[in-house]
């Protein structure tokens, strides 16, 4: 498939955002990958390539058994058949997490297939639109720093402030930041904002429906 300069630039930015996302989720991503320029991207993939060639596979730094695969497809419309082929491959190749990058929104049937897989499998499949990945939202100057707490840090937080989970302010699981970090219900994020008086202002939110 032949891409014009605009398409090459778009796909370069999307892949860069995905790699940054994986690094922020603590997967093993090299500095070379993160610093790849558009020129290097074009040199590696050329102008005649398929989106499938952009596939990324990574292993989590803290747990080698946690593996992720990022799937790309040239087909603009993806349905239930693609979901089944991806989930089958995840099982066969032991991917605990999959990220599917789509050009267009899923059909209701495909969304149901993804939800069913996520509800009844130990693995998890996430779906992102290309348009949502061209810019890394966490790099925006108006988006405060978010830090994902470990289970131990969450327990220590609740004990320190003598509060229960349900008393913490919520961040929706559908929130763009929650989706970027691949958060699950019950996880807690530390949000750090600049403060003119205190230098920085820290709040916590728990992921909910």
Rounded CA-CA distance 51/71 in Å is: 9
Token pair, residue 150, equals 């470990």
pLDDT greater at residue 23 or residue 2: 23
pLDDT digits (tens, 9 = 90+) for 48-84: 889 999 999 999 999 999 999 999 999 988 899 999 9
100: left (phi over 0), alpha (psi -120 to 50) or beta: beta
Report the pLDDT value the prediction gives residue 117, as an integer from 0 to 100. 96
Vertex 52: Cα angle to 134 and 58 (nearest 5): 75
Strands 97-102 and 67-72: parallel
> How is residue 2 written in tokens?
């032949």
Looking at the DSSP assignment, which residues form a beta bridge with residue 203? 191
Whether 80 contacts 100, CB under 8 Å: no
- The pTM of this model reads 0.92
pLDDT range class, residue 209, cuts 50, 70, 90: confident
16: alpha, beta or left, given left = phi > 0 and alpha = psi -120 to 50?
Answer: alpha
Q: Do residues 92 and 120 lie in contact, with contact meaning Cβ atoms separated by under 8 Å?
A: no
Evaluate whether 14 touches 40 at the Cβ level (below 8 Å). no
Question: For the chain, which domains are there?
Answer: 5-132 (3.40.1340.10), 137-208 (3.90.940.20)
Q: Where residue 110 falls among pLDDT bands split at 50, 70, 90?
A: very high
Judged against a pLDDT cut of 80, whether residue 47 lies above it is answered with: no
In the chain, DSSP assigns E strands to: 56-59, 67-72, 97-102, 124-129, 145-148, 170-172, 188-195, 199-208
Tell me if 165 sits within 8 A of 203, measured CB to CB: no
């Amino acid at each position: 498939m032949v891409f014009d300069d605009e398409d090459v630039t778009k796909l370069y930015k999307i892949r860069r955002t995905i790699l940054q996302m994986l690094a922020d989720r603590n997967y093993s991503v090299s500095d070379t990958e993160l610093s790849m320029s558009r020129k290097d991207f074009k040199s590696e993939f050329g102008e005649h390539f398929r989106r499938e060639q952009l596939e990324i596979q990574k292993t989590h730094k803290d747990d080698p058994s946690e593996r992720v695969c990022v799937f790309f497809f040239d087909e603009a419309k993806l349905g239930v058949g693609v979901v089944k082929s991806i989930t089958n491959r995840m099982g066969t190749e032991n991917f605990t997490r999959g990220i599917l990058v789509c050009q267009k929104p899923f059909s209701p049937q495909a969304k149901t297939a993804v939800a069913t897989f996520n509800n009844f499998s130990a693995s998890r499949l996430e779906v992102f639109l290309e348009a949502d990945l061209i810019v890394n939202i966490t790099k925006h100057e108006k988006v405060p720093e978010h830090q994902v707490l470990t289970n131990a840090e969450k327990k220590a937080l609740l004990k320190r402030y003598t509060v229960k989970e349900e008393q913490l302010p919520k961040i929706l699981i559908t929130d763009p930041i929650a989706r970027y970090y691949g958060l699950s219900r019950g996880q807690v994020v530390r949000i750090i904002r600049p403060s003119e008086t205190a230098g920085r202002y820290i709040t916590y939110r728990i992921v909910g429906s």
